Structure 1
């Protein structure tokens, strides 16, 4: 009887390991597509799929969002488009409350998404939360000049230490560069390693992510 229970438990765990990633992937995709489908509200009522075809078309909002992004990028590539964007930035920067939110988000997005930026380009090993422990972090840049003058002349780097399993929350820490270790893995691989709580690690040779959890 005990052997049968262990076998059933093994089957359940195996089934869970197979279906859980599929279910989460479908849930995330459904959330993204559902959110982007809200962009259809930008269309005139007569142009919406419900009016034209009599039923909604899932995913059409994704196509519309991509077209809007492409169109905006192409517009910004010429002089006239750049002037319009500068005018838009100046306008939003003059509106109380809005300017604080807009400028903060713009600064962060420009830093993270810029090709010339160094934010989240390196995965590091740092001592956290104390000197006898290590964790994975991502380099976000260097401390501001107002902060550096209080750091006794040592070279520091700014890092983001994500929490597990939700990496969108974490800690901003400034650590001595000499106390960091640059990891031989991409940011994507390091992120997967963090999210899986160390269960999924990149292969040292091929860089392929492989489970490291023992199944004994």
Structure 2
């Protein structure tokens, strides 16, 4: 009976490895489908109630059309963006903003939200396009951060009195990087990395398990020596 134990353990190990491999393959696909499906239904629940019945194809069909509300929302947002670029559209937007600016509480929320979207979505913006390391929470301990922008205004004046340039960085927690801390650090204390923000997010979410590939200069030279580029 003792001779059978290694075979049984080997079979159990193979089954476990096969299960873990299948889990690695299926789990991301299932989570992606679930998140996409949830987002589509969420968008439909917000948009469909405002669509007149005569324009809603579900009024003539016996089944629901997932994503129809999301499609309408994308079309409307794109149309508003198109109209907002001409003279009439800009006049309407300016008039609407002037009304919002007269509302004590609403104007604060509107200004802050608009500034965030303009900063993040601006084509030439460099916000959150770089990843770096800072010593946090104590010297010798390093934390991953996303570079936001250079410190400006009063913060730059107060913190840069000794001539040191300050940088605004976002320190996100693991494994859900949707909240975190806004920190201002000296540029000399920030170590920029070559990884992209997408790779940095993967590193955070996986708690360090998914590490982006990094090739040093020595490694690249060794690869070129083994596989020299073809001559043209």
Provide the TM-score with structure 1 as the length reference: 0.86
C-alpha displacement of 1:123: 1.3
Partner of 1:120: 128
Partners of 1:145 and 1:81 in 2: CA distance:
32
Q: Which runs of 5 or more structure 1 residues have no equivalent in the other structure?
A: 206-216
> Could you say which structure has the larger radius of gyration?
2
TM superposition shift of 1:113: 0.9
1:130-173 deviation per Cα after TM superposition (whole angstroms, max 9, x unaligned): 22111221111122322233324221100001111111111111
* Runs of 4+ more than 4 Å apart: none
Map 1:87-106 onto structure 2 (within 5 A). Answer: 87-106=95-114
Distance 2:91 2:26 in 1: 50
Which residue of 18, 41, 44 corresponds with 1:37?
A: 44
Name the Cα RMSD after superposition.
Answer: 1.8
Q: Is the 8 A contact 1:156 1:177 kept in 2?
A: yes
Select between 148-157 and 108-117 the one with higher mean Cα deviation. Answer: 148-157
Structure 1 range deviating more: 163-172 or 54-63: 54-63
Q: Quick one: distance in 2 between partners of 1:35 and 1:90?
A: 31
Change (3 A) 1:49 1:95: farther
- The structure where helix makes up a greater share of residues is 2
Residues 85-115 of structure 1, C-alpha deviations (whole Å, 9 max, x = no match): 1112222222243222222211111111112
Equivalent residue for 2:171?
161
146, 155, 180: which is aligned to 2:190?
A: 180
For the residues of structure 2 that align with 1:58 and 1:200, how far apart are their CA atoms?
A: 34
Contact 1:49 1:55 in 2 (8 A): no
Secondary structure at the aligned position of 2:188 is classed as helix
Q: How many angstroms does 1:75 deviate by?
A: 0.7
Q: CA deviation at 1:121?
A: 2.1
What is the Cα deviation at residue 50 of structure 1? 2.6
Structure 1 range deviating more: 24-33 or 119-128: 119-128
